């Protein structure tokens, strides 16, 4: 794709990657993604904000073929999907200076072997003149690396936010509007990338809300021409408020755990408690992560394999431990053959989440009348907790 005009002298550059399905070797991205770079041609100086994955360098260099000079290459984030082609750009424009945050310098030299002599670091709040336009650098750390910053084009009120507010979405739409599909992709992105830093996201939202913003131009997915659309979503997702939702990831070997899950789910529905079930052999872990953005409670269903939880339940518990959703309550249910340690193992894995454990229903073999009674009791406890949350 050629470069695209956003407005006079400001262009989208980069790549729409329709085929990519996995990020960081583990994160499913069913809708592909894009790597956005932005060219800003001021009256005196020209800046390029971020680049693309090194495997797509040729595409970016073709887009730059008619650009005679670049004075500043701005790296908002050192991760390679945005910095991977910086060496090519610096080579093509030997007079250009690489601008980055203080913490990014070390990362850019370590990951890309960039000559430190080419780098000029900027402080939080520092400005850079392009002649008629001014760029202001705003430190927005931990979204999602320690060095991340945003760049604000003051006169045109554009916030170039890199990963912050991004969406893994391959589309020819340059602008997001209030498109629900893009909102869903942004939620998946938030869940998979930003959620572990939820509290810092809140702080960064407070920072960027101090600026008059007409456009948010992230480095993945479309540009937000209605910035309040994505800011309000981020405020909701990162808030401390949970919703009336129980997420139930489970795996079953001989059907008993499945039967327990279905019984509990039915009991919850009878009490107007919403739930989403994720059978771990068929479920998209990204969809599960999206549900965890909102959920108040997780119930993990796992049988015992030998003396511990099923490996797929261990995996989902580990993912939760890493993503750090704002859950408040948890429980474990499942069947075992001859010994029952699965629940304690799962609790240990997610102990960093500091959840209130609401119970452990386990049964030797197939569920019995007593099992159903315990599941009814668990549903009562969950409902009580949810009613109490909703009434606040």
> Nearest distance from residue 53's CB to ligand FEO, in Å?
9
Q: Encoding tokens for residue 62?
A: 């073709």
- The CA-based angle 52-43-156, given to 5 degrees, is 70
CB of 310 closer than 8 Å to CB of 253:
yes
Overall residue count recorded for the chain in this entry:
392
> Nearest distance from residue 82's CB to ligand FEO, in Å?
6
> Nearest distance from residue 54's CB to ligand FEO, in Å?
13
Nearer to ligand FEO, 146 or 177 (CB): 146
CB of 3 closer than 8 Å to CB of 11:
yes
Please provide the DSSP assignment of 1-57 as one string.
Answer: ---EEEETTEEEEEEEESS--EETTTEE-TT-EEEEEEEEE-SS-EEEE----GGGH
Q: How many CB atoms lie within 10 A of CB 30?
A: 13
The strand pairing partners of 293, in sequence order, are none
Nearer to ligand FEO, 220 or 326 (CB): 220
Helix (H) or strand (E) holding 206: helix 198-208
Question: SS3 string of 310-335?
Answer: CHHHHHHHHHHHHHCCCCCEEEEEEE
> Nearest distance from residue 29's CB to ligand FEO, in Å?
11
Nearer to ligand FEO, 85 or 362 (CB): 85
Residues near ligand FEO, by CB under 6 A: 77, 79, 81-82, 144, 163, 220
272: left (phi over 0), alpha (psi -120 to 50) or beta: left
Nearest residue to 151 (alpha-carbon basis) of 9, 16, 38, 33: 38
Nearer to ligand FEO, 220 or 258 (CB): 220
Nearer to ligand FEO, 88 or 244 (CB): 88
In the complex, residue closest to ligand FEO by CB: 79
Nearer to ligand FEO, 81 or 294 (CB): 81
Nearer to ligand FEO, 45 or 82 (CB): 82
> Nearest distance from residue 163's CB to ligand FEO, in Å?
4
> Nearest distance from residue 72's CB to ligand FEO, in Å?
20
Nearer to ligand FEO, 14 or 334 (CB): 14
Nearest residue to 85 (alpha-carbon basis) of 112, 116, 47: 112
> Nearest distance from residue 219's CB to ligand FEO, in Å?
6
> Beta 46-49 vs 149-153: how paired, if at all?
unpaired
Nearer to ligand FEO, 31 or 81 (CB): 81
86: left (phi over 0), alpha (psi -120 to 50) or beta: alpha
Q: Encoding tokens for residue 166?
A: 């991004």
> Nearest distance from residue 80's CB to ligand FEO, in Å?
8
> Nearest distance from residue 126's CB to ligand FEO, in Å?
22
- In angstroms, rounded to a whole number, what is the distance separating the alpha carbons of residues 235 and 258? 36
């Amino acid at each position: 794709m050629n470069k695209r005009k956003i407005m006079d002298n400001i262009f989208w550059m980069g790549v729409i990657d329709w085929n990519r399905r996995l990020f960081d070797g583990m994160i499913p991205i069913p809708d592909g993604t894009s790597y956005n770079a932005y060219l800003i041609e001021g009256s005196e100086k020209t800046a390029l904000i971020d680049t693309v994955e090194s495997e797509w360098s040729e595409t970016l260099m073709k887009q730059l073929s008619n650009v005679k000079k670049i004075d500043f290459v701005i790296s908002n984030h050192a991760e390679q999907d945005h910095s991977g082609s910086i060496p090519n750009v610096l080579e093509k424009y030997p007079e250009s200076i690489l601008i980055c945050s203080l913490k990014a310098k070390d990362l850019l030299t370590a990951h890309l072997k960039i000559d430190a002599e080419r780098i000029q670091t900027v402080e939080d709040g520092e400005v850079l003149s392009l002649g008629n336009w001014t760029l202001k650098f705003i430190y927005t750390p931990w979204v999602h690396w320690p060095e991340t910053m945003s760049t604000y084009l003051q006169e045109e009120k554009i916030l170039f936010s890199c990963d912050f507010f991004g969406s893994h979405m391959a589309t020819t739409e340059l602008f997001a509007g209030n498109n629900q599909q893009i909102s869903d992709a942004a939620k998946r992105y938030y869940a998979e990338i930003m959620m572990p830093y939820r509290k810092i996201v809140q702080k960064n939202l407070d920072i960027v809300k101090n600026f008059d913003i007409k456009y948010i131009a992230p480095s993945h997915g479309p540009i937000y021409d209605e910035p309040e659309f994505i800011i309000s979503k981020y405020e909701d997702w990162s808030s401390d408020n949970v919703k009336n939702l129980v997420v139930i990831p489970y795996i079953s070997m001989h059907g008993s755990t499945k039967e327990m899950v279905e019984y509990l789910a039915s009991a919850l529905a009878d009490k107007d408690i919403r739930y989403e079930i994720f059978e771990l052999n068929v479920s998209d872990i990204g969809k599960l992560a999206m549900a965890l953005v909102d959920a108040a409670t997780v119930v993990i269903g796992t049988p015992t394999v030998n003396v511990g939880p099923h490996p797929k339940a261990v995996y989902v518990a580990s993912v939760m431990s890493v993503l750090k959703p704002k859950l408040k309550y948890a429980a474990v249910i499942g069947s075992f053959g001859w010994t029952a340690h699965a629940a304690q193992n799962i609790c240990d894995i997610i102990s960093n989440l500091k959840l209130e454990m609401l119970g452990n229903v386990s049964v030797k073999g197939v569920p019995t009348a007593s099992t159903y009674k315990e599941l009814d009791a668990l549903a009562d406890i969950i409902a009580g907790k949810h009613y109490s949350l909703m009434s606040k």
